[in-house]
């Protein structure tokens, strides 16, 4: 029998479904809680946070403060800020993690694979040649080699040192 230990998943498995939207609640919390909530950067209309359940190390999310699932409901300044923070995220990830490429995009609606479909957000996934190892191909298991908070501690200063 194969065993894969992922003790960090128990928090997600056992958490009660409160209907809380992390993209609405986390930015409202005190900035002192940003590390715990994985919030890297707060912009004027949008913010950047790390994905707690990443596809790859350094997987980031950019979301508007406005609670909407429809891109057409964003005002021009919100849409521009979202893409500006996407560009900033790619720049910061490039400096810290040196990926060879990126996947970016929206999953809009459950049919498109949205895990949190009620709040629009951009995924930014750094990629390296060969990062989809045999684990993902054969066993549907992802190996993330760095702890989330270690990656946060590397990225946070870079995000907050760059001019907008």
Q: Is 82 exposed, middle or buried (0-12, 13-18, 19+ CB in 10 A)?
A: buried
Give the pLDDT of residue 67.
Answer: 94
Tell me the pLDDT tens digit for each residue of 34-85.
Answer: 999 999 999 999 999 999 888 888 999 999 999 999 999 999 999 999 999 9
DSSP string, 72-124: GGS-HHHHHHHHHHHHHHHHHHHHHH--SEEEEEE--SGGGT-SSTTS--EEE
User: Is the pLDDT assigned to residue 107 strictly greater than 90?
Assistant: no
Tokens describing residue 70: 């429809």
**Known catalytic residue: 121?**
yes
φ/ψ of residue 124, rounded to 5: -130, 110
Map out the domains of the chain as residue ranges: 20-161
Bigger pLDDT: 113 vs 105: 105
Catalytic residue among 59, 67, 70, 121: 121
Distance CA 34, CA 114 (A): 24
In words, the CATH class of domain 20-161 is: alpha beta
Can you tell me whether residue 34 is helix, strand or coil? helix
pLDDT tens column, 131-155: 764 444 445 556 676 788 888 988 9
């Amino acid at each position: 029998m194969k065993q894969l230990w992922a003790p960090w998943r128990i928090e997600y498995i056992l958490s009660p479904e409160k209907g809380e939207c992390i993209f609405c609640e986390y930015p409202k919390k005190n900035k002192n809680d940003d590390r715990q909530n994985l919030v890297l950067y707060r912009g004027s209309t949008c913010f950047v946070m790390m994905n707690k359940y990443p596809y790859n190390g350094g997987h980031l999310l950019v979301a508007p403060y406005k609670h909407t699932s429809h891109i057409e409901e964003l005002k021009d300044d919100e849409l521009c800020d979202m893409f500006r923070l996407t560009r900033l995220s790619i720049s910061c990830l490039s400096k810290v993690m040196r990926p060879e490429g990126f996947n970016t995009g929206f999953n809009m609606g459950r049919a498109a694979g949205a895990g949190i479909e009620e709040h629009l957000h951009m995924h930014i996934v750094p990629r390296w040649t060969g990062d989809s190892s045999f684990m993902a191909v054969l066993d549907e298991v992802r190996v993330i080699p760095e702890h989330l908070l270690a990656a946060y501690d590397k990225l946070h200063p870079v995000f907050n040192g760059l001019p907008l």
